[in-house]
Each structure stands twice: as C-alpha cells, then as structure tokens.
C-alpha cells in the first residue's frame, strides 16, 4: 500500500516519531549479523545459527557504541528488516528474543528476566545463578528461540557487592555452548568489551565478532546520508530547509558526531517546527532544544549567521557540548 503523506499536526508527529533514518550503520550491522547464521541455496541468511563442526558451538556478536550512538535503534530496526528473524513479542512462536537489561540487573536477575519472557513463572530466591542460566537455556530450546539479543548488556558487568563479573562472562559463554546454543547478540557501551576481556583466557571474547557504532564525521558518506534523511523527513512533514543554513552539519557538530543523538535533535527540531506551524526549519528552535537538554551556553552551533564563521568561532573558543 503506498504511504500517504501525513497532513494534520498529530499525524506528522506520529510519522516523525516512527521514521527510521537509514544511515549506513544498519547495513554494517546486518552484514555482521548474517555471519552468525547458515545460508540457504540462494545465499540468503537463514535463522539457523552456524555451528562449529567439531564443537557444535555457535558464535556471538557484540554491538558497541557510546550511549546515544543509536545502537538500540539499529537492533530494533534489524529485528524488523531481517525477514527470517521473528520477534517473540510480535509473532506467536517467534525465533528471536530481544531483552533490555535494566540498570540494576544482576546475573541472577537477568536469567529470571529471560525465562519470564518465555512464560516461565520465575525462581525461588534461593536458586543460584548457574541453575537459573541452565533453566534459561532450556526454556529457549523449548520455545524454539534461536537468537537472543541482550541490549544494555554492560549493566550486568557493573562492579559492586554481590556482583560476579566472571560469572556473567561464563553465563554468556554457555549460551554459545550448550546443546541448544543460540546466536547471541550483546550490545552496550565500549566498556562491555573491556569487561569481557577481564577473563584471563580470553575464551569468551574470541567467540564474539565486533561491530562498532562510529561517529559520523563531517564530510563523510554518513554525513551525506544524514542530510538526505533530514531533507526527506522535512519534505514529508511540509517544512522547508534553507540549504544556506547547513542544518545537517550543525546537528552533527552539536552532538559531536554521535549519530543517534543528532537524529533525535534533528527530529525534535522538525517536530517543533510542525507544532509551531512554521514553514521552515528554525535555528532558534534547534538552539532552544539544545539548551533544554544541555544547559545554557555562551554560544551554540545554532548561532545565526554563516556556518563556516560560526564553526570557526566555536572551535576558537574550544567549544564543548
């Protein structure tokens, strides 16, 4: 069905909210993801995890990036865009479980979190971590889940009393080893990688491939895609963007190239233009939103005037977000 353009303010807001900006990270991630699975005779990825012929082990993938780089957005998009992976939340009998680790989670509570998603009642407090993870693996097997995605995985590696970093590394490794080993995607800030490297043998680390959310640099292909997405979204909601005002560069500069954050600021600025019934994107709106989340600054990247001059000024004053 062809998409009709949103017309009312609320339709435009809704459209903007759900609009994914395809910026290149998704392609890189999906390619790395496909490496975890068998392919069919057309060379297409299947949902069957690839196993080592000798050990039967599967592989993992870690997606790493700073907070706000857009990791969760990439994961959720892959779940929708990769046809063979079906989200258990969306599809009865789906083969992929996506979980987000809450900040306070421990390795014990995470196992519980997983089994609850498979309609298991949960554990008595006395049941230890090893047993819980064994049950979790068994539940995944029974429910036909072959891919486990653990977002915000770095939370289980926080140091502190009652926290067991080596136990957490073991739990991840076992997900790749049991008779029902899954394709495992873990996602988090770069400290996640450092945490897994704490295991002296490096055994768990070597079972994971890596995919990094890099910053979008000025003048890069990613920056061009960002600008294209901005212009497309603006056109869709009926907002003009003045090419002389270099909005795309300003959003990326303001968020230090952190793509997800820059997308959010750009979308929020579009949203505000829609709310205020403006005909064109406004530097003042972008500045207002930027100050709202970062505090007042002497000068922001949305300062009126020629962008080259503004940028030179910001650099000269050693501007930081």
Residue of 50, 35, 53, 139 lying closest to 97 (CA atoms): 139
Binding mask 215-254 for ligand ADP (x = CB under 6 A): ----------------------------------------
CA diameter of the chain: 65
Nearer to Mg ion, 108 or 261 (CB): 261
Nearer to Mg ion, 35 or 100 (CB): 100
Identify which range of 20-28, 102-110, 120-128, 303-311 contacts ligand ADP by CB under 6 A. 20-28
The verdict on 72 binding Mg ion (CB under 5 A) reads: yes
Task: Select the residue interacting with ligand ADP from 12, 71, 108, 155 (CB under 6 A).
Answer: 71
The verdict on 23 binding ligand ADP (CB under 6 A) reads: yes
Min separation Cβ 111 and ligand ADP, Å: 23
The verdict on 65 binding ligand ADP (CB under 6 A) reads: yes
Nearer to Mg ion, 6 or 68 (CB): 68
The verdict on 258 binding Mg ion (CB under 5 A) reads: no
- Residues numbered 25 to 44 that lie near Mg ion (CB under 5 A) are none
Cα separation, 247 vs 230, whole angstroms: 9
Identify which range of 48-56, 136-144, 175-183, 260-268 contacts ligand ADP by CB under 6 A. 260-268
21 binds, among Mg ion, ligand ADP, none (CB under 5 to 8 A by kind): ligand ADP
Query: Is residue 46 within 8 Å of residue 84, measured between CB atoms?
Result: yes
Identify which range of 41-49, 71-79, 237-245, 287-295 contacts ligand ADP by CB under 6 A. 71-79
Cα separation, 67 vs 75, whole angstroms: 14
Residue of 297, 313, 296 lying closest to 305 (CA atoms): 313
The residues of the shown chain that bind ligand ADP, judged by CB under 6 A, are: 20-21, 23, 65, 67-73, 260, 263-264
């Amino acid at each position: 069905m062809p998409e009709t353009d949103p017309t009312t303010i609320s339709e435009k807001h809704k459209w903007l909210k759900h609009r994914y900006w395809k910026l290149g990270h998704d392609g890189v991630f999906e390619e790395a993801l496909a490496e975890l699975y068998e392919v069919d005779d057309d060379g297409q990825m299947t949902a069957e995890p690839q196993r080592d012929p000798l050990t039967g082990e599967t592989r993992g993938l870690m997606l790493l990036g700073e907070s706000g780089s857009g990791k969760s957005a990439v994961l959720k998009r892959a779940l929708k865009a990769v046809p063979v992976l079906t989200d258990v939340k969306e599809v009865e009998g789906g083969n992929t479980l996506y979980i987000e680790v809450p900040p306070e989670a421990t390795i014990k509570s995470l196992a519980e979190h997983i089994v609850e998603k498979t309609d298991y009642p949960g554990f008595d407090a006395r049941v230890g971590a090893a047993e819980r993870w064994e049950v979790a693996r068994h539940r995944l097997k029974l429910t036909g889940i072959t891919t486990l995605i653990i977002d915000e995985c770095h939370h289980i590696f926080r140091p502190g009393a009652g926290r067991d970093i080596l136990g957490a590394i073991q739990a991840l490794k076992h997900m790749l080893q049991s008779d029902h080993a899954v394709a495992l995607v873990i996602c988090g800030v770069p400290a996640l990688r450092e945490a897994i490297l704490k295991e002296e043998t490096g055994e768990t680390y070597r079972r994971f491939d890596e995919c990094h959310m890099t910053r979008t640099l000025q003048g890069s292909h990613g920056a061009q895609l960002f600008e294209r997405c901005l212009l497309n979204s603006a056109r869709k909601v009926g907002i003009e963007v003045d090419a002389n005002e270099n909005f795309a560069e300003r959003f990326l500069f303001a968020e230090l190239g952190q793509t997800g954050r820059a997308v959010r600021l750009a979308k929020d600025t579009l949203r505000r233009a829609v709310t205020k019934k403006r005909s064109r994107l406004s530097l003042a709106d972008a500045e207002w939103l930027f100050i709202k989340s970062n505090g007042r600054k002497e000068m922001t990247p949305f300062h009126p005037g020629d962008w080259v001059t503004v940028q030179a000024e910001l650099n000269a004053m050693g501007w930081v977000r």
